[in-house]
Amino acid sequence: MSPPRILVADDDNTVRRFIVTLLADRGYEVLEAADGEQAYKVAERAKPDLMLLDLIMPFRDGFDVLQDLKRSPETASIPVIIMSVKDREEEIVKGLNMGADDYVVKPFNSLELVARVRKILEREIRRAE
Amino acid sequence: MSEVLIQVLWVLGSVLVLLSLCIIANKALREMRERRGARIRRDLEPRILEYINGKGERLAALLPPPRGMERQVVEEVLLDNARFLKGKARARITAACEDLGYVRDRVRQLRSPRWWKRAEAAEKLATMKSPRAAPDLIALMRDEVPDVRMRAARALGHLETRTSIKPLIEAFRDPNRWSALRIADILSGMGPGAADELMESFATLPIKARVAAVDCLGRARSHRAAALLINLLSDPDRDIRARAAHSLGLIGDPNFTPDLLRSLRDPAWPVRAMAAKALGKLGRPEAVAPLREALKDREWWVRINAAEGLRSMGEKGLAALVDAIEAEDRYARHAAVATLEGAGVLDQYVEKLASPDEREREKALVFIRKIVAAERTDHLMQTAARHTQEKVREQLSRILAPGEVKA
């Protein structure tokens, strides 16, 4: 069985490289996107098992990408974890209402992030069974 | 004469060529340095990330002893990652900075004769978060340059240790050297420990600092400060009463409602305004009627906060606002309409003008006529000109025509 595939979309190279290493070390296959446009294209093409999505990105912001992902039947079922420095209640609620499965505020705890990723992937596997 | 001119031109030309060569060489050197830095980063970063993610006890054991540019790059990678991490990974970055001597180096830099070097060191120590730097940062709070002092204070705020709280509270006592608001900003990010210390020192602080301290207690969401804040609602100083009301709203315990309802009748309008805002946050139904009454306040700030408060209280609050559109008091009517506009309620009713359901359309017409009678029609006029549906534009224009609605 191939390892779960996770797309990390963040325009900050340091953050992206950190998360990629964090997840790759735990055996996940990790894809990367450095802006909103690329994030949507990679998600549409590769259909990852989970997507970590930053909100503030060039070309298209995370909310915009999330909205389009959830609109299209092809990508609507991809679970999304929003990762953002935006920590206001309204933004968190907006993200979750738009269909995100979880919302992680930066700065984040890396072990907690891995636990959230694992939990969502396990839920998806149970759902598929 | 012409020979002298030729010589002058020759010298000038040589200087220009030399300058150009210097600029080109400098640029080339900088680019080379950047490329070398990027190469070193590519080599070292994976091992540093492995360490941050939990591999090994010490970063020093995973890397060859970093020297020169390598040393600079390792520090850069550690601090770049410290920006967005917390918890165990963050603590490992601090440990690596201490172990590899970066904390020691930056503490030494705090004694530089150049103020910007001292400021840079304080900034880096803030990111390293090593408690070992606390004594030197406390000493730096006496620096002659205000920017350096403030960075030292911010760095102490980042350390979040008990030893760093006291000097920050002390800074409150010296308004000539410190901005009370900025110190309050730092302290409010330091959690409940800072709030406790602040409460202990509160009575001895000068009045300006007390106002900032009250703010700080609210922003720290310190429940333990509730009793003090409730007492301060009766303070002789109106600014302190106002900030206490605001802070109680931030803490957000619905049990504060009776105290804040009393403040809604305070003789000073800033207190009433803050009480209205806080009551909106607490969201208790018994506050709806007093807030509806506060829409008639003679001060616009109180009216706006009361309306915003009602808006944030959900269905009951919105119903009170709709009801206030027909109030006798002109101020109350206008505050209610402005808030309903902002909440998008007015637009929802406008959309219903095109509904296939006749009852919905009738309800929308009744509501919009009330808004017109309240004499606040700017938004409706704009919508009448711009709405995408002709039917809606027509209906709105008819309602807005002079003589259509009698107040």
CATH of the domain at A31: 3.40.50.2300
| Spatial contact of B152 and B141, defined as CB atoms under 8 Å apart | yes
Q: Is A45 exposed, middle or buried (0-12, 13-18, 19+ CB in 10 A)?
A: exposed
The residue of chain B with its CA nearest to that of A24 is: B50
Average pLDDT over residues A116-123: 92
Q: Is A87 on the interface with B (CB under 8 A)?
A: no
Q: What is the DSSP letter of A4?
A: P
Is the backbone of residue B178 left (phi > 0), alpha (psi -120 to 50) or beta?
beta
Here the ipTM equals 0.87
Residue A81 lies in a domain: yes
Residue type, B177: R
The full set of domains in chain B, from first to last, is 223-343 (1.25.10.10), 347-407 (no CATH)
Residue A40 lies in a domain: yes
Contact criterion met (CB < 8 Å) for A18 and B52 = yes
The pLDDT score that the predictor gives to residue B407 is 42
- Which tokens go with B346? 């007015």
The pLDDT score that the predictor gives to residue B266 is 93
Chain A residues near residue B53 by CB distance under 8 angstroms: 21-22, 25, 110
* Cis peptide bond N-terminal to A107, omega within 30: yes
Contact criterion met (CB < 8 Å) for B81 and A112 = no
Q: Is A17 on the interface with B (CB under 8 A)?
A: yes
Angle at B323 between CA B317 and CA B324, to 5 degrees: 90
Q: What is the DSSP letter of A3?
A: P
The pLDDT score that the predictor gives to residue B404 is 55
The pLDDT score that the predictor gives to residue B403 is 62
SS3 at position A32 = strand
The model carries a pTM of 0.72
Contact criterion met (CB < 8 Å) for B49 and A18 = yes
* Residues 60-99, chain B, touching A (beta carbon < 8 A): 77, 80-81, 83-90
Q: Report the percent of chain A where pLDDT is more than 90.
A: 70
Residue A70 lies in a domain: yes
User: Which residue from B45, B56, B124, B52 is spatially nearest to B85, judged by alpha carbons?
Assistant: B52
**Count of other CB atoms within 10 angstroms of residue A123:** 12
- Which tokens go with A61? 């912001």
The pLDDT score that the predictor gives to residue B56 is 84
State how far the Cα of B82 lies from the Cα of B89, in Å rounded to an integer: 8
The residue of chain B with its CA nearest to that of A83 is: B84
Which of A8, A11, A15, A18 to mutate to probe the B interface, most B CBs <10 Å?
Answer: A18
- Which tokens go with B395? 């209906």
| Spatial contact of B127 and B82, defined as CB atoms under 8 Å apart | yes
Q: What is the DSSP letter of A25?
A: T
- Which tokens go with B335? 């505050």
Q: How confident is the model at residue A52 (pLDDT cuts 50, 70, 90)?
A: very high
The residue of chain A with its CA nearest to that of B41 is: A14
Residue A129 lies in a domain: no
Average pLDDT over residues A79-86: 93
Domain of A82 in residue numbering reads as: 5-124
The answer, yes or no, to whether residue A11 has pLDDT greater than 90, is yes
Cα separation values, B237 from A84, B208, B240, B244, Å: 40, 10, 5, 11
What is the per-residue pLDDT across A20-36, written as a single tens digit (0 to 9) for each?
999 998 999 999 999 99
Q: What is the dihedral of CA A7, A12, A14, A15, to 10 degrees?
A: -50
Which DSSP helix (H) or strand (E) runs through A105? strand A102-105
pLDDT, one tens digit for every residue, chain B (407 residues):
688 888 999 999 999 999 999 999 999 999 998 898 889 898 889 999 999 988 888 888 888 777 888 899 999 999 999 999 998 999 999 999 999 999 999 999 999 999 999 999 999 999 999 888 888 888 888 888 888 988 988 888 888 777 788 888 877 777 666 677 777 788 887 877 788 888 888 888 888 788 888 988 888 888 888 899 999 999 999 999 999 999 999 998 899 999 999 999 999 999 999 999 999 989 888 989 999 989 888 888 899 899 989 988 888 888 888 888 887 778 888 888 888 888 788 888 888 888 888 888 888 888 888 888 877 788 888 888 888 888 888 888 888 876 655 44
The number of domains in chain A is 1
What are the residues whose beta carbons fall under 8 Å from the beta carbon of A35, sequence distance 6 or more? A11, A57, A58, A59, A60
| Spatial contact of A105 and B85, defined as CB atoms under 8 Å apart | no
Q: Is B31 on the interface with A (CB under 8 A)?
A: no
Q: What is the DSSP letter of A35?
A: S
The pLDDT score that the predictor gives to residue B1 is 64
Sheet containing A5-9, strands listed edge to edge, beginning at the edge strand earlier in sequence: A29-33, A5-9, A50-54, A80-84, A102-105
State how far the Cα of B197 lies from the Cα of B282, in Å rounded to an integer: 27
| Spatial contact of B338 and B349, defined as CB atoms under 8 Å apart | no
Q: Is A110 on the interface with B (CB under 8 A)?
A: yes
β-pair type (A80-84, A29-33): unpaired
| Spatial contact of B278 and B260, defined as CB atoms under 8 Å apart | yes
Q: Is A15 on the interface with B (CB under 8 A)?
A: yes
Q: What is the DSSP letter of A62?
A: H
Residue A41 lies in a domain: yes
Which of A12, A14, A19, A56 to mutate to probe the B interface, most B CBs <10 Å?
Answer: A14
The pLDDT score that the predictor gives to residue A115 is 94
Q: Is A21 on the interface with B (CB under 8 A)?
A: yes
The pLDDT score that the predictor gives to residue B27 is 93
**What does the H/E/C string look like for chain B?**
CHHHHHHHHHHHHHHHHHHHHHHHHHHHHHHHHHHHHHHHHHHHHHHHHHHHCCCCCCHHHCCCCCCHHHHHHHHHHHHHHHCCEECHHHHHHHHHHHHCCHHHHHHHHCCCCCHHHHHHHHHHHHHHCCHHHHHHHHHHCCCCCHHHHHHHHHHHHHHCCHHHHHHHHHHHCCCCCCCHHHHHHHHHCCCHHHHHHHHHHHHHCCHHHHHHHHHHHHHCCCHHHHHHHHHHCCCCCHHHHHHHHHHHHHHCCHHHHHHHHHHCCCCCHHHHHHHHHHHHHHCCHHHHHHHHHHCCCCCHHHHHHHHHHHHCCCHHHHHHHHHHCCCCCHHHHHHHHHHHHHCCHHHHHHHHCCCCCHHHHHHHHHHHHHHHHCCCCHHHHHHHHHCCCHHHHHHHHHHHCCCCCCC
A vs B: CB pairs below 8 A: 46
